[in-house]
């Protein structure tokens, strides 16, 4: 057994794998994310764990909105261009295939099977390297019917972002 079971145990938690779109007056960005979950029915809220040094964090702080593109497992290739940061790939949006969200203007991947758009209602500073952004879902669209098991997720891709 591991000396420190915490990282090993956290890596056992399955996570979805999404494209996070952010928008402010002068900037659009897409990145991958996986620390996302619904936390309330009324109002419909999601919580997003986001690294505070990421480019997207600053765009969301400025714009106050974001969108989450949900992809099917077979559309894994559509998300790969957004796995590198803007620092490592400053031109990643140049060839991005996206449409601005109807309510927020945040980028939504054209390959998305479904998406949600959110307005930020609170940011919780954790004192760690990620903060929690609480977003109210203000719009959603299902483009392709499916089941949760069809959705792209980290275990299916073979990656881990936990521990």
Domains defined for the chain, CATH in brackets: 19-157 (2.30.110.10)
Q: Which residue has the tokens 């390297």?
A: 129
Which pLDDT band holds residue 12 (cuts at 50, 70, 90)?
A: confident
Q: How far is CA 37 from the centre of its chain?
A: 10
Q: Which residues touch 78 (CB under 8 Å, ≥6 apart)?
A: 19, 71, 97, 109, 110, 111
Distance CA 73, CA 59 (A): 28
Lowest-confidence region among 47-51, 67-71, 83-87: 83-87
pLDDT at 2: 58
Spatial separation of the C-alpha atoms in residues 6 and 12, rounded to whole Å: 10
Residue pLDDT, tens place only, 126-137 = 999 999 999 999
Distances from the Cα of 102 to the Cα of 63, 77, 115, 139, angstroms = 15, 24, 11, 8
Q: Which residues pair with 109 in a beta bridge?
A: 98
Give the confidence band of 156 by pLDDT, cuts at 50, 70, 90: confident
Return the half-sphere exposure (C-beta side, CA atoms, 13 A cut-off) of residue 7: 6
At residue 1, does pLDDT exceed 60? Answer: no
Instruction: Report pTM.
Output: 0.94
pLDDT of residue 158 exceeding 70, the answer is yes
Cis geometry, peptide bond prior to residue 145 (ω within 30 degrees of 0)? no
Residues 51/155/115/96 CA torsion (nearest 10 deg): 70
Q: Over 80: is that where the pLDDT of 34 sits?
A: yes
């Amino acid at each position: 057994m591991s000396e420190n079971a915490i990282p090993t145990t956290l890596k056992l938690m399955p996570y979805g794998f999404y494209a996070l779109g952010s928008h402010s007056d002068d900037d659009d960005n897409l990145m991958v994310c996986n620390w996302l979950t619904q936390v309330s029915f009324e109002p419909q809220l999601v919580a997003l764990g986001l690294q505070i040094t990421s480019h997207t964090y600053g765009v969301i702080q400025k714009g106050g909105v974001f969108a989450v593109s949900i992809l099917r497992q077979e559309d894994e290739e559509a998300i790969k261009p957004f796995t590198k940061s803007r620092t490592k790939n400053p031109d990643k949006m140049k060839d991005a295939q996206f449409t601005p969200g109807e309510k927020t203007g945040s980028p939504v991947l054209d390959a998305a099977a479904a998406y949600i758009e959110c307005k930020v209602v609170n940011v919780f500073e954790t004192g760690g390297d990620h903060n929690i952004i609480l977003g109210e879902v203000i719009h959603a669209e299902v483009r392709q019917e499916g089941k949760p098991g069809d959705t792209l997720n980290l275990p299916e891709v073979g990656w881990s972002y936990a521990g």
